[in-house]
Amino acid sequence: MSESFATLLDENLGTLDMQPGTIVPGVILEIDNDWVTVHVGLKSEGIISLDEFRNNEGEIGIKVGDEIEVALEAVEDGYGETRISREKARKLSTWKMLEEALETGEFVTGKIHNRVKGGFAVEIDVVKAFLPGSLVDVRPVKEAPDIENTIQEFQVIKLDYKRNNVVLSRKAVLEKNNSEVKVELLNNLEEGQIVKGIVKNITDYGAFLDLGGLDGLLHITDISWSRVTNPSEYLNLGEEIDVKVLSFDKEKLRVSLGLKQIHNDPWESVQSSYSVGGIYEAEVSNITDYGCFAELEQGIEGLIHLSELDWTSKNIHPSKVVEMNEKIKVMILEIDHDKRRISLGLKQTKPNPWTEFANKFAIGDKVEGTIKSITDFGIFVGLEGDIDGLIHLSDISEDDDPKKALDEFKKDQKLSCIIFAVDAERERISLKLSE
C-alpha cells in the first residue's frame, strides 16, 4: 500500500480546526424515532439517522450518554447544522483494524454474504471485502462450499484503502486450525459436556472462546435467558467461564457453545409461577415504537403493547409512559407456552376511568368540561378522569348548516353538558349541550 491507512487517520485526528472527514468523539444527547442527536464540541449538535445504530436484528444498542466516534461531514453548513456520520467513522476504524491485522497476522471475523465472480463477497463490520475461490478451503473445490451467510475468520492478505480493495483468505485460517491439538480436542468433545473457555473475542453477534487450542462460538442468543443486546455487558475479554457444548463439526472445526444452557430454563416453571389475570412486579427491559418489554424474572419477558400502556394516552410514544429499568406492576393478559410469549398490560393495574365515570354518573346528569378539540363531526369535551366525551354535530344546532354553529366554540372553552349515553367497554361517552 503506497500510503498507509494509519497515516491517513493520524492526519485527520491531528486536524485541530474540525474539518470535514475528521474523526471525533461525541456524546449521545437524545434519541427519537428517527434521529440520534450527538454533541461533538461544536456550536450546533450533529444528527445521525437512527438506522445507523441498528444491529442485524433491527434492535437499537445505544442509550443517552453513550460515547461514540463519528466522522464530520459538514461543519456548520449553510443551514447552521453539523452533519456527522457514524458509518464513516466505523469504516475508518475498521480499515485501521484491517491494516493492523495485515501487519500482525491476526485473524479478523466477517460474514460471507454471497458468491460473486471469482469468489465470495465478505463483510468485515461495514467494510466490503473479497474472498477468492482459491482461498476458500485448504483443498481445491469445484463447487462452492456451504459457507454463504456464515460467520468466518479470515487472514488479511491484501489492502488498498484508496481503491477500497480488501482481499481475504479463509484457507490460511483453516491451515492454522488444522492442528493435532485441535483434532485431539474435538475427538474428546461430547454434546452436553461442560467445558472451560477463555473469552478470546467479543462481537455484536456473540463471542469466541478459546477451549485450549480450539475456538468455539458462543452466540448472542445462547449467552443468557434474558434479552442480550450487547455481549460485552455479560462477558469480559480474558475471563474464564464454564460453557456447555451444544454441537460440533469435526470436519469444519466448528464448536457451538451455550452459557445459558448451564442454568435451568425459566420457562419450565412459568405455568406454576404465573397465571393469566395475575398482577406481578416487572422491570422495563426494552422500549420500542409499538410498546415495551418488561422482565418478570431473568429470562421471562413479556410485551406490553402500546394499546395496553394507558387508559387515556393512546397516541404517544411508550417512552412517555415508562422508562428503561423502571419497576412497574403488570397484569398477565395471555401466556403462549409454545411460542414462549407473554402479553402484559400496564393500564389494567390502574383504575379504569371509563368504568369509574359510568359508576359515578347516570344518563341525564349534568357535567362540566373543557373543549379539547373541534372536528367536522362534533366537539370533544374533556371530562373528569382525563377522558373525553363527544357532542355530535347534529346535537349542536338544528340549523340547515350546523357546521356554522361550530364557529361559536373555541378550544379550552368551558361547557356545561348533559350525559346522553355511556359505553365504558368501548370507551365512548355521548354528550349534549345543557340548556
Q: What integer pLDDT is reported at residue 12 of this predicted model?
A: 43
**What pLDDT sits at residue 207?**
94
The three grid cell numbers given for residue 140, joined into one nine-digit string: 481445491
Q: Is 422 exposed, middle or buried (0-12, 13-18, 19+ CB in 10 A)?
A: buried
The verdict on pTM exceeding 0.75 is no
pLDDT tens by residue, the chain, 435 residues:
435 544 443 454 344 355 666 777 888 888 888 888 888 776 667 888 887 777 766 777 788 888 888 877 766 655 556 777 777 878 888 888 999 999 998 999 999 988 889 889 999 988 999 999 889 887 665 555 678 888 899 999 999 888 889 999 998 888 777 666 777 788 888 889 999 999 989 998 999 998 887 889 999 999 998 888 899 989 999 999 999 999 988 777 789 999 999 988 888 888 889 999 999 999 999 999 999 999 999 889 999 999 999 998 878 899 999 999 999 999 999 999 888 899 999 999 999 999 999 999 999 999 999 999 999 889 999 999 889 999 998 888 766 676 777 888 999 999 999 999 999 988 999 999 987
Taking a C-beta distance cutoff of 8 angstroms, is the pair 114, 120 a contact?
yes
Q: What is the pLDDT of residue 332?
A: 95
Structural domains in the chain plus CATH codes: 5-90 (2.40.50.140), 105-176 (2.40.50.140), 179-262 (2.40.50.140), 267-349 (2.40.50.140), 354-433 (2.40.50.140)
310, with CB counted inside 10 A (0-12, 13-18, 19+), is: middle
